[in-house]
Homo-oligomer: A and B are copies of this chain.
Amino acid sequence: MSITMFQASVPVLLQGLGNLRQIIGKAQAHAAEKQIDPAVLTGARLFPDMLPLARQIHITTDTAKGCAARLADVEAPKFDDVETTFDELDARIQKTIDYLKTFKPEQIDGSEERRITLKMRSGPIEFSGLNYLVYFALPNFYFHITTTYDILRHNGVELGKLDYLGKLNA
């Protein structure tokens, strides 16, 4: 009795990305309703040396596509970090969703022992597939979605925990 690497990765990432689309959709509607320049929100940061919202979304999507690709041992498509508007950011999330949907369980399953090497600023770090997924990819993924949420809440966008969790798979 156990779970598979696919179950613990691709559908989980898809859920988070879908929720992120809903969150930025609400932010875009909020900006329209309050006549706020949307660029104020997409460029917002929680501190001057933190990354702005648009970059949080670039990194969320990079983390998601990199995770599936590394576990499946394929090359992830490179996305240039050019999206700045809500529509562009939404399209990037959708493009990532489309990419993740191409993965079949048999490409990911059995990757728990696969050696995965990440180039970090401090040098390369090598993980097992399992440790890469649960100690690196998923915490990072949720970090950038939560920080997107926190930036928007800090700027008065009305969001709740259920926007972050999304429709729960019972």
Interface residues of A (CB under 8 A from B): 1-5, 7-8, 12, 15-16, 46-47, 50, 109-110, 112-113, 125-128, 130-131, 134-136, 138-140, 142-143, 146-147, 149-150, 153-154, 156, 161, 164-165, 168-170
Contacts and interface: CB of A to CB of B under 8 A. Distances in A.
Nearest to A59: B161
Copies in the complex: 2
A16 to B, nearest CB: 7
A1 B146 contact: no
Contact of A109 (B1, B168, B170): B1
Contacts of A164: 139, 143
Contacts of A169: 127, 131, 135
B1 A3 contact: no
A125 B165 CA distance: 13
Contacts of A8: 3, 8, 134
24 contacts: A1-B109, A1-B110, A1-B113, A2-B2, A2-B5, A2-B109, A2-B112, A3-B3, A3-B5, A7-B130, A8-B134, A12-B134, A16-B139, A46-B150, A47-B153, A47-B156, A50-B153, A127-B168, A139-B142, A139-B164, A139-B165, A142-B143, A143-B161, A147-B150
B136 A165 contact: yes
A154 to B, nearest CB: 4
Nearest to A142: B142
Contacts of A125: 168, 170
